[in-house]
Amino acid sequence: MDSLNHTQVTHFVFLGLTRNHRLELTLFVVFCLVYLLILAGNLLIMVTVASDPCLHTPMYFFLGHLSFIDVCHSSVTAPKMLVDFLSLQKTISFHGCMAQLFFLHLCACAEIFLLTVMAYDRYVAICHPLQYASHMSLKVCSWLVGALWVGATVHSVVQTVLTVRLPYCGPNVLDSFFCDVPPVIKLACTDSYWTGVLIVSNSGMISLVCFLALLASYIIILVSLRRRTAEGRRKALSTCAAHLLVVLLFLGPCIFIYTRPAGSFSADKVVAVFYTVVTPVLNPVIYTLRNTEVKSSMKKLRGRKIFFMGM
């Protein structure tokens, strides 16, 4: 009943990445370019995969979805961050904060599940090649993608409900540049310890369990490669190395943030920038620079564009 006598918080104020206005202008230019690269790189991969029949395989089907998720994930935080770099007062409404929190966890959890599915795809392709066509048919891949979105939605709803149910009566200053569960629940007008434990149990365990499952699958893959030819090992290792690098870049920061109770680590902001902005721009580079099939398809796509312009 006491919480009803408090004034409900209507908005939150971000402290942002820095309070130096000149540095903010520099960061605006840098992150604006990074965000444009995220959109351009990932949209190019999506168009390339969709337009080339040679890439209509499970691996590239999942790669196209990964690019889609990266665009969505970065768009949850980057546009607001860019606007705040130019604003003296960095505010967001309470409902806007909860919406940002919901979509952030939706996209992040979907990406974690998708990376796990991609590891399973590589495991079947390398360790059970004769059963690959039946185990990873288009219907199965579609069901897996649908299931990961359902799982991500359930996770995000749980996180949002755990956060919204707490009373917020002030203060309303977030030491961050976007709304996430750990910094928001610290502002609750009640003891949020058990809510923090539930969050660690939910987000932290998802990140950690998926990471361990990924490591186990790649250990099995590496063991099975001993029986392959040198060329077969090279091609398999090239694909797996690119995927494992993406896993480390994304899941590493997630594990750092969500496997411990909410704290005030100054490194949290840097880590948050890394997995919300930096990783989505690196994924297209990792997958295209090391993948001859994707590069070949992009060249064909560029050639068709030039042809149509000539017409």
Q: What is the pLDDT of residues 114-152, one digit of tens each?
A: 999 988 888 888 888 888 888 898 899 999 999 999 999
Residue 265: the pLDDT is 53
Q: Which domain holds residue 106?
A: 16-310
CB 202 within 8 A of CB 158: yes
How many domains does the chain contain in total? 1
pLDDT greater than 80 at residue 180: yes
CATH of the domain at 141: 1.20.1070.10
Which of 7-21, 193-207, 294-308 is predicted least confidently?
294-308
Q: Is 308 exposed, middle or buried (0-12, 13-18, 19+ CB in 10 A)?
A: exposed
Angular region, 20: left φ>0, alpha ψ -120 to 50, beta rest: beta
Q: Kind and range of the H or E element at 173?
A: strand 173-174
pLDDT greater than 70 at residue 263: no
Q: Is 249 exposed, middle or buried (0-12, 13-18, 19+ CB in 10 A)?
A: middle
Cα separation of 40 and 306, whole Å? Answer: 18
CB 280 within 8 A of CB 71: yes
Assess if residue 3 is contained within a domain.
Answer: no
Q: How far is CA 232 from the centre of its chain?
A: 30
Assess if residue 8 is contained within a domain.
Answer: no
Q: Residue 141 corresponds to which amino acid?
A: C
Assess if residue 2 is contained within a domain.
Answer: no
pLDDT greater than 80 at residue 185: yes
CB 223 within 8 A of CB 123: no
Q: Kind and range of the H or E element at 113?
A: helix 94-127
Closest CA to 275 of 294, 241, 295, 249: 249
Assess if residue 10 is contained within a domain.
Answer: no
